[in-house]
Structure 1
Amino acid sequence: MQWTLFLVVAASVGARTILRFSCSQLVVERLDPLVNPGMIPSPHLHQIVGGNGFNATMDPNRADLADVVTCTSCTPAEDFSNYWTAVLFFRARNGTYKRLHTKGNPLGYADATGGQTVYYLGPSASNSVSRATAFRPGFRMTIGNPAYNKASQLARYRQLMYTCLQAGTTRGADTFDFPTKFCKAGIMVTVRFPTCWDGKNLDSPDHQSHVAYPVNGTTESGAPCPASHPVVIPQVFYETLWDTAPFNDKELWPEDEKKQPFVWSFGDQTGYGNHGDYVFGWKGDALQRAMDADCNSDLYGNYLNCPTLKSQSIIKSNRCVKEVTAREELDGWLKSLPGGLTP
């Protein structure tokens, strides 16, 4: 069943290149080197994967992460990038909060100590551009907006979704807001970044203006990039699986069945504030080689299936962790979200 699903996913995506791999949990802490550089701690909590060079500043003047990183929690051994999102909490009926943990993707990566499944997609076979241009050292971007709390605001971002997993193979029935029922196998949160670049700027003041979505569609569907952002880049996207099983207790959920109990670490109870951050850190030309080689690891589960790349086992990826910089109490039932935030 699982491998059949992979074939269906690959066919539906229609991309020439599909890199799919596991990144185990590196650290969970309140740091945000893009939005709040140098601030220790940052306003809200994040879960981070990738290279252990992650820090409070991620100095753009020292752009080549491969020179300062000693390990990566991702299975491609040459990927020292950092990928992060906010952290999901459960708010009990009595008003206290408990942190949810991420878990390894049952479709190939069940042995991972949490973290995310990461994808890099090339353009589809129907796109006039045959290859994606890999990011350069120093490239960074964000997607989504934590201040959003209305469905209408999401028109700017096309692919930020939630899937209520009844089994590890559940796909479809995606929503843009939090599920309102028990999700037996957890909640999968999907974050997809834009696929067009202005070709000049490695970043922008809002960390978003230097990238854009294709015109009237997606790169997978063959839609072209706008003239302002003519360079096709890989589509980076994350699948984060949050373990909700410990909270499938009706006595903990709100008495009003129309309400749901999940809240992001920045205080959002709607789900519309879903967002993600990315800092490029592949070694040398490794990512460009993978894009040019039409690697397709989506068909093979826990096997990278990209001979041009060096890989490491999930067990070794699990060993790459970073010591917490901003120490605080994160476990147990909390009276407020870390940082004193409340919805």
Structure 2
Amino acid sequence: MSRRSRVLSGTLVASALLLASVGIGTVAAGADTPAPASSAGAAHPAHAVQAARVGHTMAVSNAASPEDPDGDGYIPANPPVTGVTPSTAEPPHRYFHEFQANCAVSHTAPDDPIVFPQQPGKSHDHTFMGNTTTDANSTTASLDAGATTCLAPGDRSGYWMPTMYDGDRPVLPVGPQTIYYKAGVTDYTSVRPFPKGLRYVVASPMQSAQDFRDHPGFVEGWECGDSFFNVDFPADCPERQDVQVNIRFQAPSCWDGRNLDTPDHKSHMAYPVVNPGTNNNICPADHPVALPMIEFKMAFPVNGDLSQVRLASGASYSFHYDFFNAWDAPTLDAMVGHCIVGGLQCDARGYDQTHPEAGAALNEHYELP
């Protein structure tokens, strides 16, 4: 049976998975499904309804695209990674095994080349970082040819999230934002670079407040000043120049080794699990390939009264984000090997200030030496 036949024969299962993950409904294309209501949107009911209705439904199968010509949602890795078993090893303890990708906002648009490829204007509004060309028609090849707002010119990946609004005013992060690449498994020496073209969606615009709080990627939720771990935007947010609204949220880091994307944009990825024998974090057997765990640490320049603040996707707990890997492969390999596998806490050059003897992976221009 072909991949497309499997998808068509299992539409009920597929649609349920899609609804639970990225809001792709079982209704006909173009139908509207409202998102959960939010106190943050209560002051703007028309805006809240619009945000809830736009970009959350589509047909069960994806639109055809250059990388998915049959439109079945599967983009196979070429070559696949096979013969890998999850590592249960425990290397020497290191407090850190990470590096930063510092990327600024480039533009906003109602596009999503992962969920709605080749369908401009179909999504709710997104705030894009990294690759400056990211739009509904983006492919691995087009991103490879694009420019970037990241400090490292070799990082031409696309990063995006729902646009935040304060009333009708977009609230866009200012300057390079912190995107961590870290080990999500105990055996940090087993982490390998992302395959070119890998893409996925983290969390869901259709999740409930409890789903958001219980999500394995939840780190500190929404925070402002001394208020942390919030599902809703903090009510107590000091109105000071040095205060912003922040969120930290982690992505899955275990890959099935076979697909660069799947119909729900999630099933090819998984979060690490606890090995009951050792209490170590390992990748599950069906997603055995350990990749870097991305963590968004975003800072939004808004404070004080947040009653007018909302996301383009709906409530505060509808926060989610997308990643489309277009790193220069040798550059990413150097950063992963030096910083994650090497057990260092690196900046965007791959330099750890506490271990100057280790040197840096990149030169002063953030490029390979």
Does the pair score TM above 0.5? yes
Q: Shift in Å at residue 229 of structure 1?
A: 0.6
- Residue 309 in 1 paired to residue 362 in 2? yes
Identify if the C-alpha distance between structure 1 residues 128 and 121 changes in structure 2 by more than 3 Å, giving closer, same or farther: closer
C-alpha separation in 2, matches of 1:301 and 1:226? 30
Q: Does 1:14 align with 2:87?
A: no
Structure 1 pair 14–207 and aligned structure 2 pair: CA distance change class (3 A): farther
Aligned to 1:205: 263
Q: Which runs of 5+ in 1 are unaligned?
A: 1-11, 92-96, 105-111, 254-259, 314-343
**Counterparts of 1:162 and 1:298, CA distance in 2:** 26
Higher Cα Rg, which structure: 2
- Counterpart of 1:188 (choices 246, 260, 265) is 246
| Contact 1:77/1:311, CA 8 A, preserved across alignment | no
- Out of 124, 135, 143, which is 2:194 matched to? 135
Aligned residues: CA RMSD? 2.9
In 1: Cα distance, 2:170 partner to 2:108 partner: 11
Distance in 1 of aligned mates of 2:280 and 2:99: 18
Aligned-pair distance for 1:129?
5.3
Percent of counterpart pairs with the same letter?
23
193-202 or 157-166: bigger deviation: 157-166
Q: From the superposition, tell whether residues 131 and 311 of structure 1 become closer, same or farther in structure 2 (CA, over 3 Å).
A: farther
- 2:181 is the counterpart of 1:120: yes
Counterpart for residue 171 of structure 2: 100
Q: CA deviation at 1:46?
A: 0.8
Superimposed CA distance per residue, residues 245-275 of structure 1 (whole angstroms, 9 cap, x where no aligned partner) = 4xx25xxx6xxxxxx432111222xx22110
In the other structure, the counterpart of 2:331 is 286
Q: How does 1:154-303 map to 2 (within 5 A)?
A: 154-159=213-218, 161-166=220-225, 173-183=228-238, 184=240, 185-216=243-274, 222-245=280-303, 248=304, 260-268=307-315, 271-294=316-339
1:214–1:51 CA distance, 2 compared to 1 (3 A): same
Instruction: Tell me which moved more, 223-232 or 148-157.
Output: 148-157
Return the alpha-carbon distance in structure 2 between the equivalents of residues 291 and 86 of structure 1.
28
Against the structure 1 CA distance between its residues 44 and 311, is the aligned structure 2 distance closer, same or farther, given a 3 Å change threshold? farther
CA drift of 1:155 comes to 3.1
Q: Distance in 1 between matches of 2:101 and 2:108?
A: 20
Matches within 5 A, 1:22-61: 22-59=102-139
Residues 192, 153 of structure 1: CA spacing in aligned structure 2 closer, same or farther, 3 A cutoff?
closer
Cα shift readout 1:106-147 (whole Å, capped 9, x = no counterpart)? xxxxxx4xxx211111356xx245231111111101111101
CA deviation vs aligned residue, 1:284-343 (integer Å, no higher than 9, x gap): 222122111236898576764173335647xxxxxxxxxxxxxxxxxxxxxxxxxxxxxx
Number of aligned pairs? 260
**1:75 corresponds to:** 151
Going by fraction, where is helix more abundant, 1 or 2? Answer: 2
> Are the aligned partners of 2:349 and 2:361 in contact in 1 as well (CA < 8 Å)?
no
Paired residue type of 1:207: H
SS of structure 1 residue aligned to 2:195: coil
4+ residue runs over 4 A deviation: 295-304
- 2: CA distance, partners of 1:301 / 1:152: 32
**Equivalent position SS for 2:214:** helix
Structure number with higher relative contact order (C-alpha < 8 Å, ≥ 6 residues apart): 1
Q: Secondary structure at the match of 1:294?
A: helix
For residues 249 and 365 of structure 2, what CA distance do their matches in structure 1 show?
A: 25
Amino acid in the other structure paired with 1:121: K
Aligned with 1:291: secondary structure? helix
How has the CA–CA distance of structure 1 residues 14 and 142 changed in structure 2, closer, same or farther, with 3 Å as cutoff? farther
2:230 is aligned with what amino acid?
T
How big is the shift at 1:156?
4.3
Secondary structure of the corresponding residue to residue 202 of structure 1: strand
Cα distance, 1:98 vs structure 2? 2.3
Letter paired with 1:25: V
Structure 2 letter corresponding to 1:308: A
Q: What CA distance in whole angstroms lies between the structure 1 residues aligned with 2:130 and 2:229? A: 27
Distance 2:300 2:318 in 1: 16
Question: Which secondary structure state, in structure 2, belongs to the residue aligned with residue 130 of structure 1?
Answer: helix
CA-CA distance at 1:13 after TM superposition: 9.0
Q: Is the 8 A contact 2:200 2:266 kept in 1?
A: yes
**Structure 2: 5+ residue stretches without partners:** 1-92, 352-358
Residue 332 of structure 1 is matched in structure 2 by none
Q: Which residue identity is paired with 2:235? A: T
- 1:173 alignment partner, SS class: strand
> Hey, what's the Cα distance between the residues in 2 that align with 1:21 and 1:139?
17
The CA distance in 1 between the partners of 2:234 and 2:193, in whole Å, is 35
